[in-house]
Structure 1
Amino acid sequence: MAHVTFKENRITLIGNEVKTGNKAPDFTLLANDLSEVTLADTTGKVRIISVVPSIDTGVCDAQTRRFNEEAAKLENVDVLTVSADLPFAQSRWCAAAGLENIKTLSDHRDFSFAQNYGVGIEELRLLARSVFVLDSKDNVTYVEYVSEATNHPNYDAAIEAAKAAN
């Protein structure tokens, strides 16, 4: 399992670590309208799954804005931002930020994404900062578990992986 810290304190990640080359695990997330979204609902396009601890914090805000900007330049790529925030908070944040190129999804109810992708922070019931790229057939082509949860992911590597998966 990936070694991850939060504010330099080691945290316990729950769930199954995902590796490049794996088939993407399923999940059940909530859209902003409270409808369920599963892996099958997103299949058919390349996906960047940007995972953030809480969308209302500085690094998470910057990460979400950066992937929103990049999404506008990418063809046949969807960007999904996943957090354990309530769908209402995600919706309010997106409206205030004016972001339209990403889809925010909540793992608050089932924590199934946390379990299936190995990103659940046991001590905080948040998700660890990470990025996954899936090709159109649900193969994992890129994985980054950010070693310090308050740091940014490698945006360029994730974007290049999404382009290569297209």
Structure 2
Amino acid sequence: MSLKEKINEDMKAAMRAKDMAKLGTIRLLTAAMKQKEVDERIELTDAHVLAIIEKMIKQRKDSISQFEAGGRQDLADNEKAEMAVLSVYMPAAMSEAEIQSEVNAAVAATGAAGPQDMGKVMAVLKPKLAGRADMTAVSGLVKAALSKA
């Protein structure tokens, strides 16, 4: 079952269970998926769906920090609940050691010699680690590995 089909099945289950919070979040996700399909005239793959979910989670994190800074804990709690629903669809996160080994392998595979080769290394890592690791942290690890080289 593809990720898109799983999301649709979960939406039906949320409707049956009358779980309005989960249903609302899943509807936001399906709307974003349909929007991408219409805009780009493509059939979404699991990778596309993961990218959409990752973007939505990042938006929720930003909103949570803004709401908490503004003293609106009620809105921050809503965003946290939405983020929890979205996180279910993400693959298991990689450990720090696994990410570091992937970074080292990518640096070796590309023959990167210094910081100027960061783009090459990130191009190799992005498809492998998308959705499984925070790419900002990966970028920091790559930068550290290349500064040693």
TM-score category of the 2 structures, normalised to the smaller one: under 0.3
Q: TM-score, normalized by length of structure 2?
A: 0.26
Work out which structure has the larger RCO, using CA pairs closer than 8 Å and 6 or more positions apart in sequence.
1
Higher strand share: 1
Q: Larger C-alpha radius of gyration, 1 or 2?
A: 2
Q: TM-score, normalized by length of structure 1?
A: 0.24
